[in-house]
Amino acid sequence: MHHMKKILFLFACALLLVACSSNNEGSKGTDGSTNAGADKGASSNSSSSDELVIAVNENFISMDPHNTGDTNSNAVQAAMLEGLLGFDNDGKITKVLAEDYSVSEDALEYTFKLRQGVKFHDGEAFNAEAVKVNIERITNDEKLRLYSRGFNLIKSVEILNEYEIKVTLTEPYGPMITRFGVAKMISPKHIKENLEEIPKVPVGTGPYKFVEWVQGDHLTMERFDEYWDGNDRVAKVTFKPVPENGSRVAMLKTGEAHAIYPVPAQNMPELESNSDVKVTTVPSTIARYVSLNTFKEPLNNEKVRQALNYAVNKEAFIKVVNSGLGTQLDSIIPSKTVYYKQQTSFAYDVEKAKALLAEAGYPDGFEIEIWGNTNSDTMKGMQFIQQQLAPIGVKVDIKSMEEGTLSDEIYGAQTPEEAKLMMWYVSWSSYASDVTNATKPLFHSTSFPPNSANTAYYNNPMADKLMDEANSTSDQAKQAELYAQLQEEVYADAPWIFLGVDEIVYGVRSNVSGVEVGPGGAISVQNAKID
Amino acid sequence: MSTTVIDSKKAQQPAAQYSPLKEFWRNYKKKKVALIASVFIFLLIVIAFIGPYIAPYDPYEPNYDAILEGPSAAHFAGTDEYGRDIFSRLLVGTKISLTVSFSAVFLGLIAGTILGLISGYFGGRVDKVIMRCCDVFFSFPDLLLAIAIVAILGPGINNVIIAVMIFSVPSFARLVRGATLSAKENVYVEAAKSMGASHTRIIFKHIFPETISELIIFVTMRVGTAILAASGLSFLGLGASPETPEWGVMLSSGRDYLGTASHVVLMPGIAIFLTVLAFNLIGDGLRDVLDPKIKNS
Amino acid sequence: MLKFVVRRVIEIIPILIIVSMLTFLFIHLIPGDPARLVAGKDATMEEVENVRHELGLDKPIVVQYVDYMKKLVTGDLGTSLTTSLPVIDMFKSRFMPSIYLTFLSMIWATIIGLLIGVVSAVFKNKWPDYLGMVTAVSGISLPGFWLGLLLIQLFSVQLGWLPTGGIDSFKSYILPSLTLGAGIMSMIARFTRSSLLETMQADFIRTSRAKGLAERTVIFGHALRNSLISVVTIAGLQFGFLLGGSVVVETVFSFPGMGRLLIDSISFRDYPVIQSAILLFAVEFIIVNLIVDILYKVLNPKIQLNS
């Protein structure tokens, strides 16, 4: 019996230990206030009306604005950090920390007039010197993501006066304006004294200042009362990564989250009928397509590629795969992207597809592999393509690969000859203002993997020339004309199966206002309020 | 108390007719729950063979005008996100799911048994090395192994089988090693050794049969685990090709519809649950009957 | 006893070295290029090579291993390739939640499992046995993510009693630990039942019965204590597994534990994080095994520890 007692005692101790430590955990995270998330209906009571919880689908990776590659990190940073320029909800360039700017005719000199009276969260003043420190941080460190995206072309940064600064490039670079929107400003003191801390602790000029980041669980920020553009917003914002779709939706329904992004399309009907929740859709800049390896048989035949496009019912694609959301991709770039020009799309026509295949010498079709990652949406899309191509005799073999393996298979090929990739079900998104990034990595002959993402191995000297010319001018009318030509040229060649443009879908509780998601997936909480 | 009854029954039967199989059946049929489970699995195996012929619809044929319909007279289990008949997919998928789990367990059994026999029989350094390897495998998270295997070999149902198999090798090895250790002590093993029988002969002729009853129990339960492991791989997107009507694939691709069309995820979930449950109940029943240490009193 | 513990602890070192080497080899064997994954889809060759150099991935694999081990000896687990944060920082916030979840799951699973096991053994082949065993077996027959999602639907969405995930309060741990513990509860219940039935056949139990001791005393005083030995083994093994984090449960409940960190770092091929996480799991696993061995001795002093 003695031993039994010992065991029981051990159990009791363990139980106590867990109970105590869990309690500590609870009170630490919520500053003593109880977290009322679980109480149905009562979730948005007085105690939480000044704290906004937003659930997103992926973990945020870094808080270093100069070294961020993922949308979610960007979205979280946006509330705390600001750039000279920014983007509105249509993806257009707006002036943020710059009151005004001008670009020289040769597209080499950028002059910014800075906003006055702006303060960083650590009390430092925002001025030309601060901008210089930030730009130099990027140009001096080639490890940073932004370095090779335009900043390596910066020849000099010149302070004209305390609130005016001039940046000179060595050669013209089309998307430079977009880059000034992406490059958010960090407090110069923070850069000088806490360089190591930058990936963890962002100190900027934004409407919210950083509080804590518990890796993998949440990131919390609080209102910055000395913000240059007023204080009329909720006092606290917490971002939580919740990758499982069902769990994220459940959080919105129970009120544990005030806003979620993205809302899985298949949950739309369920949420739309729920009066506690508002669901909003916004056309995105995310193009969804299947890239076709134009270098290899049988896809090197233009007729085959066109046949594949005719064989796919894009309306059914939107209905089945995107649960009815989104629009057809009727150019090589989404309609929200600048200089977009609609093309005559390949209307669904199985007979025409069969005829084209026969003309190309494949009357009985062929077998081919389609690659994609392991996301449930991708797998759904690949199955759809498989079903659509079956009637014209094209037998599609689905190979879904874990992201790292997939990337290795694609970028491991050093030359087009080595490539094993035939069809890739994928999406591409870029800033609405950045047409260069929406075209050059995908269609320029210098962008073949492993150099960039031209996985169609599309090689058209005419298209190359159009892109190069458009990049080296700052004349917008001329750019518009060149990009119009480019879209016509490439679309007709069908280097992709053009599928659709995604819709951004986000949901907020009905008592929440001012939370908005832009076409690139940036979440804005600047005007957020809870009633 | 009841021993006398059994003895007298035995006495009534001529000794020549005594068969272990009959003895087994006499005990096993008393296990009502296990018996019901056995009938269920038997039916399932029948379905695995005739499923494709009795399925009312083509399990791969999409119908975009009838997506996510609930159960009805036309579709007993409703339709999925492409309008495919879930009932037909379950019927056809029975074979795939059973094949995946049976082959994974069978392969794991062979490899594990050989390792376990060697380890237990030879002992010493060989034993130490094999058992340490098992320890290392145990301390390696299953998932990393699975990803590694699927990543190296590529996706597809065969590699799912291999991944699931590798999970089970160490447990089989341990189990067989334990049984071997105790069997080794038997007098007839000593006798065979002294008569100069080869190691292989001793292992397979004398020791292996001693481990069989424990193996049967373990295999039965492992089949259930294998079905769950395969569905776990599908959850992570590392399972069979997404159009396959394998139950785990159906379950994980249907999970996005839990809030809107719950039958898409409930139906394959129930199929998996009942099957795994049945295998485990049979395993428990077998244990009660076969395990010499828990003889019916 | 002390000698035994010391010897076992010393034995850990070679195992860890083997594990570290195997892991290192293994993760480099998995296809995937961290430099490319860090640099992004649209990165140029030159950028990728820059990143590769910065991360030290252009060095020979043996050199990378030696570098890693050198740092490890000084207690430095390295820096994450994706977040540029020290690996130890990334572990800090996730380690304890994983431990709590494991403990909580183990505790309820053990208590309920023992209870069901004892009841089933005592009422062998009667309805409480059937009920107990079907309940127990159900626990290991459910796909974890399915059970988790159903629990969320029921307790969070429909009833609104418990949060859907996170680690904000004690309540947040309930659903994940239910999901995680279900399988272990079943296993313990079944092992308790069968080993209890086994020991009840043993001579010393017959003797106690013959001595006319009350049935309750026989079961709880003698039989159960003996069967606890095998229950401890199985519980220990499961405990070891759980510490490795449960990716599936952590994903469903957005639980910031070690399992999700591991899966995230695997998908980015974040070598230092994977490497250190697996070493940590191995250490935990070994420690748990050691504790199990010590418990053996406590439960049954007849077992010789150094044999």
For residues C65-87, average pLDDT = 85
Do C66 and C161 lie in one domain? The reply is no
Better pLDDT: A523 or C200: A523
Distance from the C167 Cα atom to the nearest Cα atom in chain B, whole angstroms: 23
What is the structure's pLDDT at A49?
66
Q: Is residue C24 part of a domain?
A: yes
Residue numbers in B near A401 (CB within 8 A): 151, 154-155
Do C156 and C281 lie in one domain? The reply is yes
Do C43 and C120 lie in one domain? The reply is no
User: Lowest-confidence range among C34-38, C144-148, C206-210?
Assistant: C206-210
Domain boundary pick from C23, C38, C73: C73
Q: From the candidates C146, C199, C200, C265, which should be mutated to test the interface with B, based on the most B CB atoms within 10 A?
A: C146
Do C171 and C38 lie in one domain? The reply is no
As given in the structure block, the two tokens for residue C305 are: 């520890």
B residues 140..169 contacting A (CB < 8 A): 147, 150-151, 154-156
- The domain tally of chain C equals 2
Do C128 and C69 lie in one domain? The reply is no
Are A179 and A138 spatial neighbours (Cβ–Cβ below 8 Å)? no
Taking only the tens place, the pLDDT of each residue in A309-368 is: 999 999 999 998 988 889 999 999 999 899 999 999 899 999 999 999 999 999 999 999
Which chain B residues have any C-beta within 8 angstroms of a chain C C-beta? 30, 32-33, 132, 135-136, 138-141, 143-144, 147-148, 151-152, 224-225, 228, 231-232, 235-236, 248, 251-252, 255, 258-259, 265, 269, 272-273, 276-277, 280-281, 284, 287-288, 291, 293-295, 297
A355 at B interface, C-beta within 8 A: no
- Pick from A38, A242, A408: which is nearest to C254 by CB? A242
Q: Is the pLDDT of residue A38 over 70?
A: no
Q: Is the pLDDT of residue B297 over 70?
A: no
The reply to whether residue A64 touches residue C256, judged by beta carbons under 8 angstroms, is: no
Highest mean pLDDT of the ranges A34-43, A388-397, B119-128: A388-397
Q: Is residue C306 part of a domain?
A: no
Q: What percent of chain A has pLDDT over 70?
A: 91
Residue numbers in A near B259 (CB within 8 A): 246, 249-250, 267, 270
Q: Whole-angstrom Cα distance, residue A305 to residue A356?
A: 9
Q: From the candidates B294, B295, B296, B297, which should be mutated to test the interface with C, based on the most C CB atoms within 10 A?
A: B294
Highest mean pLDDT of the ranges A94-98, B186-190, C182-186: A94-98
Taking only the tens place, the pLDDT of each residue in B100-140 is: 999 999 999 999 989 988 888 888 888 888 887 887 777 66
Band (A89; pLDDT cuts 50, 70, 90): confident
Q: Whole-angstrom Cα distance, residue A481 to residue A469?
A: 11
Are C82 and A59 spatial neighbours (Cβ–Cβ below 8 Å)? no
Name residues whose C-beta falls within 8 Å of residue B238's C-beta, 6 or more positions apart in sequence: A374, A402, B146, B147, B150, B155, B160, B163
Distance from the A177 Cα atom to the nearest Cα atom in chain B, whole angstroms: 39
CATH code for the domain in which residue C138 is found = 1.10.3720.10
Band (A383; pLDDT cuts 50, 70, 90): very high
Q: Is residue C264 part of a domain?
A: yes
A345 at B interface, C-beta within 8 A: no
For residues C267-295, average pLDDT = 82
Q: Whole-angstrom Cα distance, residue A148 to residue A143?
A: 9
- Pick from B144, B272, B281: which is nearest to C278 by CB? B144
Domain that holds residue C7: 2-73
A436 at B interface, C-beta within 8 A: no
What is the structure's pLDDT at B143?
61
What is the structure's pLDDT at C266?
82
Q: Is residue C66 part of a domain?
A: yes
Q: Is residue C84 part of a domain?
A: no
Distance from the A320 Cα atom to the nearest Cα atom in chain B, whole angstroms: 7
Chains A and B: how many Cβ contacts under 8 Å? 73
Q: Concatenated DSSP letters for B160-207?
A: HHHHHHHHHHHHHHHHHHHHHHHHHTSHHHHHHHHTT--HHHIIIIII
Q: Is the pLDDT of residue A79 over 50?
A: yes
Q: Whole-angstrom Cα distance, residue C280 to residue C286?
A: 10
Q: Is the pLDDT of residue A518 over 90?
A: no
Q: Is residue C171 part of a domain?
A: yes
Do C270 and C228 lie in one domain? The reply is yes
Catalogue all structural domains in chain A, each as residue range(s) with its CATH number.
49-82+196-282+504-530 (3.40.190.10), 86-193 (3.90.76.10), 284-502 (3.10.105.10)
Do C52 and C104 lie in one domain? The reply is no
Taking only the tens place, the pLDDT of each residue in B266-291 is: 899 999 999 999 998 888 888 778 76
Do C34 and C150 lie in one domain? The reply is no
Domain that holds residue B133: 26-58+75-296
C262 at B interface, C-beta within 8 A: yes
Q: Is residue B198 part of a domain?
A: yes
The reply to whether residue B151 touches residue A404, judged by beta carbons under 8 angstroms, is: yes
Q: Whole-angstrom Cα distance, residue A520 to residue A283?
A: 9
Q: Is residue B89 part of a domain?
A: yes
Angle subtended by helix axes A435-443 and A476-493, to nearest 10: 40
Taking only the tens place, the pLDDT of each residue in B253-264 is: 888 888 788 889
For residues A201-224, average pLDDT = 92
CB-based burial, A272-293: b 16+ in 10 Å, e otherwise: eebebbbbbbbbbbbbbbbbbb
Distance from the B196 Cα atom to the nearest Cα atom in chain C, whole angstroms: 30
Closest of A150, C241, A382 to residue B145, by C-alpha: C241
Chains sharing 3 or more CB pairs under 8 A with chain C: A, B
C133 at B interface, C-beta within 8 A: yes
Distance from the B248 Cα atom to the nearest Cα atom in chain C, whole angstroms: 9
Taking only the tens place, the pLDDT of each residue in B31-76 is: 788 899 999 999 999 999 998 899 899 999 898 888 888 888 888 8
Band (A422; pLDDT cuts 50, 70, 90): very high
Do C10 and C139 lie in one domain? The reply is no
Do C9 and C135 lie in one domain? The reply is no
**DSSP 8-state class, residue C228:** H
Distance from the C142 Cα atom to the nearest Cα atom in chain B, whole angstroms: 5
Do C45 and C135 lie in one domain? The reply is no
Distance from the B163 Cα atom to the nearest Cα atom in chain A, whole angstroms: 15
Q: From the candidates C164, C217, C224, which should be mutated to test the interface with A, based on the most A CB atoms within 10 A?
A: C164
Distance from the B90 Cα atom to the nearest Cα atom in chain A, whole angstroms: 18
Q: Is residue B20 part of a domain?
A: no
The reply to whether residue C143 touches residue B258, judged by beta carbons under 8 angstroms, is: no
Contacts 24+ apart (CB under 8 A), A436-439: A436/A174, A436/A175, A436/A467, A436/A470, A436/A471, A437/A175, A437/A178, A437/C42, A438/A285, A438/A287, A438/A333, A438/A334, A438/A337, A439/A332, A439/A333, A439/A467, A439/A483, A439/A486
Taking only the tens place, the pLDDT of each residue in C104-135 is: 999 999 999 989 988 888 887 788 888 888 88
The reply to whether residue A404 touches residue C84, judged by beta carbons under 8 angstroms, is: no
Name residues whose C-beta falls within 8 Å of residue B194's C-beta, 6 or more positions apart in sequence: none
Taking only the tens place, the pLDDT of each residue in C240-274 is: 777 665 777 888 888 888 888 888 888 788 888 88
As given in the structure block, the two tokens for residue C2 are: 């002390």
Compare all CA atoms of chain B with the CA of A313 and give the residue at the minimum distance: B64
For residues C190-202, average pLDDT = 78
Taking only the tens place, the pLDDT of each residue in B66-110 is: 888 888 888 888 898 899 999 999 999 999 999 999 999 999 999
Distance from the B272 Cα atom to the nearest Cα atom in chain C, whole angstroms: 8
Q: Whole-angstrom Cα distance, residue C216 to residue B171?
A: 35
Q: How does strand A51-56 pair with strand A259-261? A: parallel
Whose structure tokens read 């520890």? Answer: C305
- Pick from C23, C138, C194: which is nearest to B287 by CB? C194
Compare all CA atoms of chain A with the CA of B80 and give the residue at the minimum distance: A320
Do C45 and C105 lie in one domain? The reply is no
Residue numbers in A near B66 (CB within 8 A): none
Helices (H) and strands (E) in chain C, counts: 14, 0
Q: Whole-angstrom Cα distance, residue A4 to residue A213?
A: 44
Q: Is residue C87 part of a domain?
A: no
What is the structure's pLDDT at B73?
85
C264 at A interface, C-beta within 8 A: yes
Q: Is residue C78 part of a domain?
A: no
Here the ipTM equals 0.79
- The domain tally of chain B equals 1
Residue numbers in C near B138 (CB within 8 A): 237, 240-241, 285
What is the structure's pLDDT at B17?
60
CATH code for the domain in which residue B113 is found = 1.10.3720.10
The reply to whether residue B252 touches residue C15, judged by beta carbons under 8 angstroms, is: no
pTM of the complete model beyond 0.90? no
- Pick from C15, C133, C248: which is nearest to B284 by CB? C133
Domain boundary pick from C73, C106, C135: C73
